[in-house]
């Protein structure tokens, strides 16, 4: 099965590399050429446009920042739909608005292309080692056809419903992650200001009910004052914007999401938008005057 992979950023590049390692025939396209050249060295073919990449594939995977970029790459000039043949499956693994996914899916259907929305969770480390969690919306038959491809990039791929359900699931995931990081930052600010060693608190509570994947992944970074991005503050702002928009559309109350959004916006305004989202701890440092990593 021939695959086109479009969007080779922090997540997309290692995901495409895992497809190559699994032996798939992969054609890649990215607006900036550095990542393309890296993957060509790994065995990929290079395309000069999304349309050219799609013309050489039966499955097209996109991994892009947000809804407008997906709309442009799929439906715009020299986009996927200009090159894709009827019967092609588009798997959009970006995190976008569920409403946008459904609109793009309608345009695909008019050209005989099936679309799945299949955002991921796990950040750069899990993209590198191929252990992402993949949540999918769309046609069950199309999902079955690409299931093995998805499991080359992740350890789980679950069909959650019709087109748009994948991104709705991802928004729920991002709400939980954001609120969890904020809770971790708040709790460890409390323990630190009370004079208790935060590293000992971490080891004491990680095996109990308060333990979580978020705690295990982010607390070591916070303790080391390490905010190298696996998932950026600005990207989480994008996801929570989509979550709040979706919540307003269906009437779902999201007060905790709104509160954490204000923390993230504060970080963005203070030049931390490119930091890892665990920089929520920096927000607490600013308002409390005490950093968790301070000795």
CATH number at residue 81: 3.40.50.720
Cα–Cα distances (Å) from 266 to 143, 262, 286, in that order, read: 40, 6, 10
For residues 227 and 58, what is the distance between their CA atoms, to the nearest angstrom? 39
Last residue of a domain, one of 162, 184, 202: 162
Do 186 and 124 lie in one domain? The reply is: no
Q: How far apart are CA 116 and CA 167, in angstroms?
A: 10
pLDDT given at position 294: 82
Q: 139, 162, 185: which is the final residue of a domain? A: 162
Q: What pLDDT does 240 receive? A: 96
* 110 and 212, same domain (yes or no): no
Inside any domain, residue 44:
yes
What is the reported pLDDT for 123?
85
Catalytic site residues? 170
Classify residue 274 as exposed, middle or buried by CB count within 10 Å of its CB (0-12, 13-18, 19+): middle
From 135, 162, 189, the end of a domain falls on: 162
Residues 102 and 235 in one domain: no
Same-domain status, 10 and 150: yes
What is the model's pLDDT at position 295? 64
Q: How far does CA 236 lie from the centroid of its chain?
A: 9
Q: Where are the alpha helices (DSSP H) in the chain?
A: 12-21, 34-41, 50-55, 67-75, 80-83, 98-110, 123-129, 140-153, 165-193, 198-205, 213-223, 233-250, 255-269, 280-288
The pLDDT value recorded for residue 116 is 98
293 within domain boundaries: no
Query: Are 13 and 138 part of one and the same domain?
Result: yes
HSE-CB at 26 with a 13 A cutoff on CA atoms is 29
Rounded Cα gap, residues 256 and 283, in angstroms: 16
Best CA proximity match to 258, nearest among 245, 274, 268, 271: 245
Question: Greatest CA separation found in the chain?
Answer: 64
pLDDT tens, position by position, for the chain (295 residues)? 899 999 999 999 999 999 999 999 999 999 999 999 999 999 999 999 999 999 999 999 999 999 999 999 999 999 999 999 999 999 999 999 999 999 999 999 999 999 999 999 988 889 999 999 999 999 999 999 999 999 999 999 999 999 999 999 999 999 999 999 999 999 999 999 999 999 999 999 999 999 999 999 999 999 999 999 988 999 999 999 999 999 999 999 999 999 999 999 999 999 999 999 999 999 999 999 999 988 6
Do 7 and 119 share a domain, yes or no? yes
Is 29:47 a contact under the CB 8 Å cutoff? yes
Q: Are residues 156 and 17 in the same domain?
A: yes
Q: Which structural domain, as residue segments, surrounds residue 133?
A: 2-162
Domain match, 148 and 180 both: no
CATH of the domain at 266: 1.10.1040.10
Residue 145 shares a structural domain with residue 173:
no
How many structural domains are present in the chain? 2
Residue 43 sits at φ, ψ, to 5 deg, of 115, 0
């Amino acid at each position: 099965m021939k695959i086109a992979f479009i969007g080779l950023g922090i997540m997309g590049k290692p995901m495409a590399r895992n497809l190559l390692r699994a032996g798939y025939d992969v054609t890649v396209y990215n607006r900036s050429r550095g990542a393309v050249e890296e993957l060509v060295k790994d065995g990929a073919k290079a395309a000069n446009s999304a349309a050219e990449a799609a013309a050489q594939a039966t499955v097209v995977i996109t991994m892009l920042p947000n809804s407008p970029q997906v709309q442009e790459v799929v439906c715009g000039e020299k986009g996927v739909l200009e090159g894709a043949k009827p019967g092609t499956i588009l798997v959009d693994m970006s995190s976008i608005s569920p409403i946008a996914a459904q609109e793009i899916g309608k345009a695909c259907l008019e050209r005989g292309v099936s679309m799945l929305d299949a955002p991921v969770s796990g950040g750069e480390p899990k993209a590198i080692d191929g252990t992402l969690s993949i949540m999918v919306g769309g046609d069950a038959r199309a999902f079955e056809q690409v299931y093995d491809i998805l499991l080359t990039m992740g350890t789980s791929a679950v069909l959650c419903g019709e087109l748009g359900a994948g991104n709705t699931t991802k928004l729920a995931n991002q709400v939980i992650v954001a609120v969890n990081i904020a809770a971790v930052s708040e709790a460890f600010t409390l323990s630190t200001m009370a004079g208790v060693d935060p590293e000992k608190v971490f080891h004491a509570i990680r095996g109990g009910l308060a333990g979580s994947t978020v705690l295990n992944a982010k607390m070591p970074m916070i303790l080391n004052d390490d905010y190298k991005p696996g998932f950026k503050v600005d990207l989480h702002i994008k996801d929570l914007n989509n979550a709040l928009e979706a919540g307003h559309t269906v009437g779902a109350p999201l007060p905790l999401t709104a509160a954490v959004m204000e923390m993230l916006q504060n970080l963005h305004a203070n030049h931390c938008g490119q930091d890892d989202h665990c920089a929520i701890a920096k927000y607490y440092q600013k308002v409390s005057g005490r950093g968790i990593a301070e000795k």
